Amino acid sequence: MATIGHKSAPATKAHTLERARHRASLVPDLLVDARRIANTVMAGWHGRRRRGIGESFWQYRPYQPGETLARIDWRRSARDDHTYVRDLEWEAAHTVWIWVDLSPSMLFRSNGARTSKEERALIIAIAMADLLSSAGERIGYPGLLRPRSSRSGAERLATALIGSDVEQAPDWPDLSMVRRYSEMLVISDFLRPMDECSTFLDEIGRHGARPHLVEIADPAEEDFPYRGRTEFLDPESGQRITSGRAQDWVEEYRTLRRARRATLRQRTQSLAGSYTVSRTDQLASETLVRLHGMLTGNPEEVASLAAPEVSA
């Protein structure tokens, strides 16, 4: 299993080429799955659901003293003894940056997982691009795509990811183009030193963006099911650790993992962002529902958007 550590030295050219080809072969199927999952979530979503500047009707509501008379809908008000205001739905486009961690630890997949961590991360990234593009948001990917509003946002992102160079992939996304009030979606297992994670979040805060972290977790990393003599390999550094009785590490491991996650969640929320965990033995649609509510500023709707089961 993966342990917390620094990134390893650059992979060999043969390994890099193999990973690039593998990802290229996966993306078409991932795009189909991502769109299917996005459609599932979209079926239960009702737009941004926030009052504001726009052209689409949202709701009628009772007139409040002090509001301008120009906002009153006299035709609707004439139907009964109440005075109503016609609210429009907020339609201002946001810029959402999406970044996927493609480091070696993301390739991990235990027997209990539906998919590898990398495949789950790509599914979520592409599905979110599809959802947000359909809503008119500007989607960008640091170092690959400039933010743009396009109905084909999912295809743009998938195509860019096919050609991305794993060997040259940065440890963290480049924030040089990120501007104030942007949303920053980072999908990773966050198995990095805590000081690196904290520095990255501080940098997002300095740019005035809101971080939305999605931690991809394999069930073996969550539950630590190992027993007896076990050798653990860190895919990032190549370091090996052997335990004669792996079961003796369970409680301490779980305690440290919970504490680490709590620290990252607290730090993210202090920047008005969100922290979501996506286990690879559970449905990707569940993660997408939660994340979509946070990104669209409607966390109160998350519980009501119960998506039917869709495999990923």
Question: What does the pLDDT look like over 7-19, one tens digit per residue?
Answer: 434 445 555 556 6
Please say whether the beta carbons of 292 and 41 come within 8 A.
yes
**Lowest mean per-residue pLDDT among 10-24, 28-42, 159-173:** 10-24
Q: Specify which residues 187 forms β-bridges with.
A: 100, 214
Per-residue tokens: 24? 């290229």
Report the candidate in 206, 205, 175 with the shortest Cα–Cα distance to residue 267. Answer: 205
118 Cα distance to chain centroid: 13
Please say whether the beta carbons of 220 and 253 come within 8 A.
no
Q: Model confidence over 195-206: pLDDT tens digits?
A: 999 999 999 999
Distance spanning both ends of the chain, measured CA to CA: 22
As a whole number of angstroms, the distance between CA 279 and CA 251 comes to 20
**Lowest mean per-residue pLDDT among 150-154, 223-227, 281-285:** 150-154
The domain ranges of the chain are: 13-47+92-304, 57-88
Q: 57-62 and 84-88 as β-strands: parallel, antiparallel, unpaired?
A: antiparallel
How many C-beta atoms surround the C-beta of residue 42 within 10 A? 19
pLDDT range class, residue 243, cuts 50, 70, 90: very high
Instruction: Tell me the CATH number of domain 13-47+92-304, given options 3.40.50, 3.30.530, 2.60.40, 3.90.930.
Output: 3.40.50
Please say whether the beta carbons of 30 and 123 come within 8 A.
yes
Is the predicted pLDDT of residue 44 greater than 70, yes or no? no
Q: Which residues, including other chains, have CB under 8 Å from residue 80's CB and lie 6 or more apart? A: none
- At 239 the three-state DSSP class reads coil
Q: 240-243 and 95-100 as β-strands: parallel, antiparallel, unpaired?
A: unpaired
Q: Residue 221 phi/psi, 5° resolution? A: -70, -30
**Lowest mean per-residue pLDDT among 161-165, 176-180, 207-211:** 161-165
Average pLDDT over residues 287-312: 59
The pLDDT of residue 203 is 96
